[in-house]
Amino acid sequence: MEDLTQEEWLSQLENDANAVILDVRTDDEVAEGIIPNAIHIDIYKGQAFIDEIDALDKSKNYYVYCRSGNRSGQACNIMEELGFENAYNLLGGILEWEGDLVDMD
């Protein structure tokens, strides 16, 4: 796992043809807006979260975020334990995000 600042995360993401954006927030948080093209898997789903993560393509590079960067860091650690080699945590989470969001309402 690697913690990246918003600038590093976005720069690396834009130049990564193998990138997947992963939002690990709750449904209520996602309803307030989501980074475009992100897939959503709520980390609070427990074993269901682990099962859904484990089913993802481990050859991809995952750019993971939550509200503040804490849960996404935990998610990156779980991903590492499951055999993912490239999981990047967005420091500061969506609270510090300055890019576009898609409204989920």
Question: What is the CATH number for 18?
Answer: 3.40.250.10
- Total structural domains in the chain? 1
Mean of per-residue pLDDT scores for the chain: 95
The pLDDT tens digits for 65-104 are 999 999 999 999 999 999 999 999 999 999 988 888 988 7
pTM exceeding the 0.85 threshold for the entire prediction: yes
- Measured in residues, the chain has a length of 105
List the structure tokens of 76: 């990156």
Strand 19-23 and strand 61-65: the pairing is parallel
- Residue type present at position 2: E
Q: Which of 1, 21, 24, 66 is catalytic?
A: 66
Range of the domain at 74: 2-96
Token pair of 16, please? 């990564």
Whether residue 39 lies inside any domain: the answer is yes
How much of the chain, in percent, has pLDDT values that exceed 70? 99
DSSP strand pairing (19-23 vs 2-4): unpaired
Annotated catalytic residue 66: yes
Share of the chain above pLDDT 90, in %: 90
Residue 35 lies in a domain: yes
Check residue 1 and give its pLDDT. 87
**How far lies 34's CA from each of 1, 11, 46, 54, 95, in Å?**
22, 18, 21, 22, 12
